[in-house]
Chains A and B, each alone.
Chain A
Amino acid sequence: MLRVIAKLFIPFMLLFALYVQFHGELGPGGGFQAGVIIAAAVVFYALIFGLPAARGLVPDAAVESMVAGGVLIFAGVGVAGLLLGGNYLDYFVLDRDPVHGQERGIFWVEIGVAVTVSGVMIKIFYMFAGRGGGDPEDA
C-alpha cells in the first residue's frame, strides 16, 4: 500500500520541483528550493523502497558529478559572459536583447544551483544512511 502511494507521489514531487524551478521567476521559489525538493523525492524513494534501490535509480557516480556539475554550470555562465565581451557574470551580453540575456543567464544560474544543491543533499543522505547497516559495497 505504502509503495503504491509512494509510486503515485514521487512523480508529482518531481513535477512540483520542476514547477518551483522554472516558475521561480514569477512566483516564490528558485534553484535552491527546487534542488531540495528533488533531493526530498529521492530520499522518500530510498525510505520506502530501500537504499540499494535508490542507489540503483540514482547512482553515486551521477550524484557526485551533480555536486560538481552545478557549480561548473554556474561558473560557466560567468565565463560565457566573459567570452561574449562582458564582465564575469554579466548576463546582458548573452543575447542581442539585454533583457533576454538576463533571463537566459538567470535560467542557467538557477539550474546550476538546483543541480549542486540536490546532488549534495542526496549524497549526504546516502553517506549517512549507508553507514548504519554495515552495507559492504557503499563507497
Chain B
Amino acid sequence: MAVLVIAIAARRNLFSVVMLASIYSFLMATVLVGLDAVDVAMTEAAVGAGISTILLLAALHLTKGEEAKTIHRPWIPLVISTAVAAALVYGSLGLPAFSDPQAPIHTHVVPRYLDQAVKETGVPNVVTAVLASYRGYDTLGETTVVFTAGTGVIVLLRLRRRAQQKREAK
C-alpha cells in the first residue's frame, strides 16, 4: 500500500492515478476484512473502489488526462504535512495497545451493546443494531448529509448548464 501511495503521488497521468487509487481501495477493503470489520470492508469495496472510480473517470472525461506541472515549488505544504504526520504519529503512541481489553473504548457502552443488542432488538448483527437503533439519530444525520451532498451537486451542475444555455441563446 505504501508503494501504491508513492506511485499515486509520483504519477502525472491521471488515468493511471485513478486506477491506482481503486487498487488501493481494494487493498484497504482486504485489510478491513482481516480486522473483522466486514461491514466497513464491503462499503470500502463498493464505494471506494467501485462508485468513486466511476465518478472520477467520468470527471476525467471532462478534463485533460495529464496533471499540469506546478508553477512554484511546494515546500511550505510539504513542511506542514510532514509536521501534521509527525504530530499524528506522536499522538498514536499514547493509544492503548491493539485489541487491549482494558482500553477505555471497550469498557463503557460496548459491553452493554454486545450483551443486550440481540435481546433488545432481535437483530443478531450488532453493527446493524447499533447503527439503526442505538445510534439512530447519527444515522439519520448521515443520511441527511448524503441527501444534502446530492442536492448540492444537482444544484451546482444545473446552474452552470442554465447559464450555458442562456449564453448559447444569445
Chain A residues within an 8 Å CB radius of B12: none
B120 contacts partner chain A, Cβ-Cβ < 8 Å: yes
Question: Which residue of chain B is the closest to A110 with respect to CB atoms?
Answer: B132
Complex interface bits, A104-139 against B, C-beta within 8 A gives 1, otherwise 0: 011001101100110111011101110110000011
Q: Report which A residues bind B (CB closer than 8 A).
A: 20, 24-33, 36-37, 39-40, 43, 47, 64, 67-68, 70-71, 74-75, 78, 89, 91, 98-100, 102-103, 105-106, 109-110, 112-113, 116-117, 119-121, 123-125, 127-129, 131-132, 138-139
Instruction: Report A-chain residues with C-beta under 8 Å of the C-beta of B153.
Output: 123-124, 127
Inter-chain contacts of B140 with A (CB < 8 A):
74-75, 78, 89, 109
The reply to whether B143 and A102 contact each other, CB–CB distance below 8 Å, is no
Is B111 part of the contact surface with A, judged by Cβ < 8 Å? Answer: no
Report how many residues on chain B are interfacial, defined by Cβ distance under 8 Å: 45
Would B120 and A102 count as touching, CB distance under 8 A? yes
Task: Pick the residue among A43, A47, A91 that contacts B133 (CB under 8 A).
Answer: A91
User: Which one of B62, B147, B150, B158 contacts A132 once the chains associate, using CB atoms below 8 Å?
Assistant: B62
Whether a CB of chain A sits under 8 angstroms from the CB of B9 is no
In the complex, whether B121 has a CB less than 8 A from a CB of chain A is yes
Which of B19-27, B50-58, B64-72, B82-90 is found at the contact surface with chain A? Answer: B50-58
